[in-house]
Chain A
Amino acid sequence: MMTFLTYLVSGVSLGSVYAIIALGYTMVYGIAKMLNFAHGDVIMVGAYISFCTTSYLHLPAWLSVVFAVAVCTALGVVIEGLAYKPLRQAGSLAVLITAIGVSYFLQNAAQLIWTSNTKVFTSVVGLPSVRLFGGRLTITGETIVTVLACLLIMAGLTFFTGGTKLGKAMRACSEDKAAAQLMGINVNATISMTFAIGSALAAVAGVLLCSSYNTLIPTAGAMPGIKAFTAAVFGGIGSIPGALLGGLLLGIIEIFASAYLSSELSLAIVFGVLIVVLLVKPSGLLGRYVPEKV
Chain B
Amino acid sequence: MGVMLKVDGIHVYYGSIHAVKGVSFEVGEGEIVTLIGANGAGKSTVLNTVSGLLHPRTGSVCFMDQDLRGVPPHKVVERGLAQVPEGRRIFLQMTVEENLEMGAYTQPKSSVAPGVADVYKRFPRLEERRSQVAGTLSGGEQQMLAMGRALMSRPRLLMLDEPSMGLAPLLVEQIFEIIRELHAAGTTILLVEQNAQAALSVADRAYVLETGRVSLSGTGAELMASDQVRRAYLGG
Contacts and interface: CB of A to CB of B under 8 A. Distances in A.
Given A168-B98, A175-B94, A178-B53, A183 B103 contact: yes
Interface residues of A, number: 18
A96 interface: no
B178 to A, nearest CB: 19
A184 interface: yes
A286 interface: no
Interface of A: 165, 168-169, 171-172, 175-176, 178-187, 288
A172 B102 CA distance: 8
A182 B91 contact: no
Given A168-B101, A187-B74, A178 B94 contact: no
Given A165-B109, A181-B53, A184-B74, 20 more contacts: A168-B101, A168-B102, A169-B102, A169-B105, A171-B93, A172-B94, A175-B93, A176-B91, A178-B85, A179-B85, A181-B52, A182-B51, A182-B150, A183-B103, A183-B153, A184-B106, A184-B153, A185-B102, A185-B105, A186-B72
B100 to A, nearest CB: 10
A180 B91 CA distance: 9
Given A168-B98, A169-B105, A183 B149 contact: yes
B89 interface: yes
B105 A165 contact: yes
Contact of B82 (A178, A180, A182, A186): A182
Q: Report, as a range, how many residues of chain B touch the other chain.
A: 20 to 34
B89 A178 contact: yes
Interface of B: 51-53, 72-75, 77-78, 82-83, 85, 89-94, 98, 101-103, 105-106, 109, 149-150, 153
A171 B53 CA distance: 20
A121 B208 CA distance: 71
Contact of B102 (A180, A186, A187): A180
A205 to B, nearest CB: 27
Contacts of B73: 178, 181-182
Nearest to B48: A178
Nearest to B94: A171
Of B83, B89, B102, the most chain A CB neighbours within 10 A belong to B102
A131 B53 CA distance: 61
B105 A184 contact: yes
5 contacts: A165-B101, A165-B109, A178-B53, A183-B105, A288-B93
Nearest to B84: A182
B148 to A, nearest CB: 12
A186 B78 CA distance: 11
A201 B49 CA distance: 38
B74 A186 contact: yes
A204 B78 CA distance: 37
Contact of B83 (A165, A171, A182, A186): A182
B94 A182 contact: no
